[in-house]
Amino acid sequence: MAAPPAQVHNKFMAAEELGWISYGGGDNSHLTEEQRQMAEESRRRRQEERGELLAVVEVRIYERGCHPQVSFPQGSPLGVDTDASVISEIVARASAELADWD
């Protein structure tokens, strides 16, 4: 049996006045053609605005500690051999985003 998909929450979901809709990959056959086109256009526009995914900064929180890590998706121009100052800058960007959560 496959594990259920991870649940993700971001700061925009907490903003009552903005609202949110999220569709990941997978079957969206229950949507109308117009809804599918809107979802795809929205996804494409966000991806274009954001640019290429450089890294994923993750902090796992446990009862008695934390485990931070940075990973680099396949095709990223960055990797484990990237200069430490560049990786530190990415972590700082992630930290700033989390500090501005609400």
Q: Give yes or no: residues 59 and 94 share one domain.
A: yes
Domain that holds residue 85: 52-102
* C-beta of residue 90 within 8 angstroms of C-beta of residue 57: yes
Residues 37 and 70 in one domain: no
Residues 6+ apart with CB under 8 A from 100: 11
pLDDT of residue 6: 56
The pTM (predicted TM-score) of the whole model is 0.63
Task: Kindly state whether residues 63 and 100 are assigned to the same domain.
Answer: yes
Q: Are residues 58 and 30 both part of a single domain?
A: no
| Residues 46 and 74 grouped into a single domain | no
CB 72 within 8 A of CB 78: yes
Q: 31-81: per-residue pLDDT in tens? A: 888 988 888 898 899 889 999 999 999 999 999 999 999 999 999 999 999
Are both 95 and 57 inside the same structural domain? Answer: yes
- From residue 21, alpha-carbon distances to 6, 12, 27, 31, 38 in Å are 16, 10, 15, 13, 11
